[in-house]
Amino acid sequence: MPAQAQTLNGDFGALIDGVSPADLKDSRFRDEAYRLWGAHGGLLVVRGDALADIQPDALLDWAETFGAVERKTSVGRERMMVEGTPILRIGNARDAQNRATAQQSDVPQLRSDADMRYDTKTHRPVWHTDFTSATPSIGSVMHCRHAPPSGGETLFADTRTAYARMDAETREKLAGLEAVCSQAHHDKKISLYTPGYPVLTPEQRAANPTYRLPVVLTHPETGIPALYALNSSTSALVPKGAPITQEQMDLWDLEGVEDASMAFYRNLLPFVTGPEFTVKWSWRPGDIVTWDNRCTMHAATGFDDRKHYREMWRISLQQRQAAASVAA
């Protein structure tokens, strides 16, 4: 068994170093990894040089430690999947026809750690939780295949501790809201700053309708409330059950415009992404990071993609058994 886990920022995040492919198959190690994941705010890193060439089947098997692997291919991303698997490629890979074979957003490289904190003027970094459907992913597993010599870090924020430290009035207001979300809005918004990013056809939009999620989610296993439901899918915040019009949805989905109500949430992000709640992870080939969308946010950072190659493999996780998510 590898050495005892190290924590990354206070009680948030845990790292287990010196991990081998055999460890990932060991039931005792998997049980301990799952325990650490929950105990440290839904962020766990396993690292080991021998993991750099892990095969897709072994990575998928490891992912099952934390949840059921999402087997559905994301709409419009079929070419970006690792062949024959539900693993999404992230980075700047291209095929012989110069078509993107990995998903990438055009985001700035960090100049210093001060850039980790959300900027309300630039809306960067793009802090978010992963979801683009009405049955959101409970978490993700990300594996580094190739890393640039600098840049390309991933940032993580502890949204349960940040929520707990907000004043009572803010917590009460957030708990009464729900987020209006759609994949069409997500894809259109990202395409505005990442040329060539795929957007939904009218038929795909009809097959992936708008849905709503609570802005505060009580974790179904720990019972701890946390901020939730913010990513590029999120177009508006409304009181729970409030109606919205088709005209509003068309504006948000087809133009990639956010409703003014989003300013309330975004104005909280500089606090949520302050240094007391965040971790910056600098990737090495072989690293495997698992995060829980129900109590963390994360953000990608840029690198010089004209000079360097980056390839990450991401697996989305679903809850193993149906369980109602409870808004705080």
Whether residue 250 is contained in a domain is answered as yes
Whether residue 249 is contained in a domain is answered as yes
* Percentages of the chain per state (helix, strand, coil), in multiples of 5: 25, 25, 50
pLDDT tens figures, 264-280? 999 999 999 999 999 99
Task: Determine the residue type at 71.
Answer: R
Band the pLDDT of 322: cuts 50, 70, 90. Answer: low
Domain carrying residue 15: 6-102+109-327
Mean pLDDT of the 170-175 span: 96
**pLDDT value of position 136:** 76
Q: Both tokens of residue 43?
A: 């962020």
Whether residue 37 is contained in a domain is answered as yes
Give SS3 for 315.
Answer: strand
Whether residue 87 is contained in a domain is answered as yes
For 315, residues 6+ apart whose C-beta sits below 8 A from its C-beta are: 59, 60, 63, 69, 70, 86, 87, 88, 140, 141, 142
Give SS3 for 99.
Answer: coil
Whether residue 149 is contained in a domain is answered as yes
pLDDT tens figures, 289-310? 999 999 999 999 999 999 999 9
Mean pLDDT of the 197-212 span: 92
User: Is the confidence at residue 132, as pLDDT, over 70?
Assistant: no
Task: Determine the residue type at 19.
Answer: V
Whether residue 125 is contained in a domain is answered as yes
Mean pLDDT of the 230-241 span: 93
User: Do the beta carbons of residue 317 and residue 138 sit within 8 Å?
Assistant: yes
In the block, tokens 């005892």 appear at: 4
Whether residue 46 is contained in a domain is answered as yes
- Give the range with max mean pLDDT: 71-85, 154-168, 225-239: 154-168
User: Is the confidence at residue 327, as pLDDT, over 70?
Assistant: no
- 46: CATH: 3.60.130.10
Could you give the CA distance from residue 69 to residue 248 in angstroms, rounded to a whole number? 34
Among residues 86, 10, 20, 100, the alpha carbon closest in space to that of 52 is found at 20
**pLDDT value of position 105:** 81
**pLDDT value of position 103:** 87
User: Is the confidence at residue 72, as pLDDT, over 90?
Assistant: no
Whether residue 1 is contained in a domain is answered as no
What are the backbone dihedrals phi and psi of residue 115, each rounded to the nearest 5 degrees, phi first?
Answer: -75, -10
Q: Comparing 8-12, 181-185, 228-232, which segment has the lowest mean pLDDT?
A: 228-232
As for how many domains the chain has, the answer is 1
Alpha-carbon distance values, 15 to 11, 42, 139 (Å):
12, 12, 17
Band the pLDDT of 121: cuts 50, 70, 90. Answer: very high
User: Is the confidence at residue 318, as pLDDT, over 90?
Assistant: yes
Q: Which residues pair with 146 in a beta bridge?
A: 311
Alpha-carbon distance values, 17 to 145, 261, 269, 284 (Å):
17, 43, 31, 12
User: Is the confidence at residue 64, as pLDDT, over 50?
Assistant: yes
User: Do the beta carbons of residue 141 and residue 63 sit within 8 Å?
Assistant: yes
Band the pLDDT of 326: cuts 50, 70, 90. Answer: very low
**pLDDT value of position 324:** 41
